């Protein structure tokens, strides 16, 4: 295997603010050889997700960060090219966490086989993987979706938001999305069946959202923070729930937002309206994995739930594509295709 070259993207510096090209470094090394018990995996799809921005930082968070000189972390879908592990055979498709690189050796721990006849293998890091599971547990378990809830979700056309809105629609709710540009709004209303969608880039966001939510908001699925959250808060009804999934608008901030301290008024509103604002991390709810796969898998097979992937080719485009994700340039679940997918028709 030593004749295989492994291109890897390493963290070169902890970004200060928006990550720049020099925060990363591409290196070429010989692909590692599997020892007894190991398998060598070729990366096919590399999942790019907003959480990676947090992993680039120094300091404590809910997960360990990437050290300078380490391969950037990522969920990946790959194919076993050599196996010295009885549980895996050459040619198997697998879900693993091999990061931003073309090849990796694993002892099989945490590696899950994928059956390409059940679902496209790329979905294992998308609608049937971590982002889909995040939507499912955040909406139903953390958010305690109730009959009659008026639902709003931000980053509505993205990997998580699109699934949130569609599950709420399947369950009979009125759903309003918030997205960046018109084509994303058209997609969530036209293709995904949301009732309305407003742009957070509009000067009149607060008014637009109010007009789109004539009965207020009972459940806001928070993906972005910033001015979207500020527009949502005055519209929250009594007993509204806010599962706090992400705050991408803040991920590149180097200082707290300027302006008056809004914590006292938010806490007052939380008391008066008996709000529930609850952060969660998807893996806190791992016990719901089987329910998620059964229900969401079923909705995909029946055509009730759609998904969209934004696939960019080539590991050398990983950094540029990640930067684009932070700017809202992705349209759907962001993937980088690192090598051929033999399961996908040409």
- Write out the residues near ligand NDP by the rule CB under 6 A: 49-51, 131, 134, 155, 157-161, 179-181, 184, 200, 223-224, 226, 228, 245-246, 248-249, 280-282, 325, 328, 330, 334
Report the nearest approach of ligand NDP to the CB of residue 90 (Å). 32
- Of the pair 96, 282, the CB lying nearest ligand NDP is at 282
For every residue of 168-183, DSSP letters joined together read HHHTT-EEEEEESSHH
Q: What sign does the dihedral 86-92-98-102 (CA atoms) show? A: positive
Report the nearest approach of ligand NDP to the CB of residue 131 (Å). 5
| CB-CB contact of 306 with 166 (8 Å) | yes
User: DSSP 3-state assignment of 277?
Assistant: strand
Do β-strands 196-199 and 174-179 pair in parallel, antiparallel, or remain unpaired?
parallel
- Of the pair 40, 312, the CB lying nearest ligand NDP is at 312
Report the nearest approach of ligand NDP to the CB of residue 35 (Å). 33
- Of the pair 98, 199, the CB lying nearest ligand NDP is at 199
Q: What sign does the dihedral 229-234-235-236 (CA atoms) show? A: positive
- Of the pair 114, 133, the CB lying nearest ligand NDP is at 133
- Of the pair 84, 227, the CB lying nearest ligand NDP is at 227
DSSP 8-state code for residue 208: H
Cβ count near 115 (within 10 Å): 9
Distance CA 338, CA 320 (A): 14
- Of the pair 82, 213, the CB lying nearest ligand NDP is at 213
Distance CA 343, CA 345 (A): 6
Report the nearest approach of ligand NDP to the CB of residue 158 (Å). 2
Report the nearest approach of ligand NDP to the CB of residue 327 (Å). 7
Report the nearest approach of ligand NDP to the CB of residue 219 (Å). 16
List the Cα angle 64/49/179 in 5-degree steps: 135
| CB-CB contact of 138 with 280 (8 Å) | yes
């Amino acid at each position: 295997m030593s004749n295989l070259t492994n291109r890897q993207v390493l963290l070169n510096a902890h970004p200060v603010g928006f990550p720049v090209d020099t925060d990363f470094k591409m290196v070429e090394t010989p692909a590692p050889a599997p020892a007894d018990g190991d398998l060598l995996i070729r990366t096919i799809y590399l999942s790019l997700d907003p959480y990676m921005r947090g992993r680039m930082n120094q300091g404590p968070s809910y997960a360990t960060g990437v050290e300078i000189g380490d391969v950037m972390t990522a969920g990946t879908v790959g194919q076993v090219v050599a196996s010295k592990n009885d549980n895996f055979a050459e040619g198997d498709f697998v879900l693993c966490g091999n990061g931003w690189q073309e090849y990796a050796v694993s002892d099989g721990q945490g590696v899950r086989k994928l059956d390409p006849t059940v679902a496209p293998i790329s979905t294992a890091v998308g609608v049937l993987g971590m982002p889909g599971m995040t939507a499912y547990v955040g909406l139903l378990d953390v958010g305690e979706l109730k009959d009659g809830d008026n639902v709003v979700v931000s980053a509505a056309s993205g990997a998580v938001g699109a699934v949130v809105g569609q599950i709420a629609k399947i369950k009979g709710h009125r759903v309003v999305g918030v997205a960046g540009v018109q084509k994303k709004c058209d997609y969530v209303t036209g293709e995904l069946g949301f009732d309305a969608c407003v742009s957070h880039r509009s000067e009149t966001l607060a008014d637009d959202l109010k007009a789109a939510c004539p009965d207020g908001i009972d459940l806001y699925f928070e993906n972005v923070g910033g001015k979207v959250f500020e527009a949502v808060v005055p519209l929250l009804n009594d007993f509204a729930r806010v599962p706090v999934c992400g705050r991408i608008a803040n991920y590149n901030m180097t200082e707290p937002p300027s302006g008056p301290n809004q914590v006292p008024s938010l806490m007052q509103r939380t008391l008066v309206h008996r709000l529930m604002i609850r952060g969660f991390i998807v893996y806190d709810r791992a016990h719901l994995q089987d329910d998620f796969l059964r229900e969401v898998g079923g909705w995909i097979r029946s055509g009730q739930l759609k998904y969209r992937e934004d696939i960019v080719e080539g590991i050398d485009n990983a950094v540029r594509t990640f930067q684009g994700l932070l700017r809202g340039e992705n349209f759907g679940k962001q993937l980088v295709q690192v090598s051929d997918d033999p399961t996908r028709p040409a």
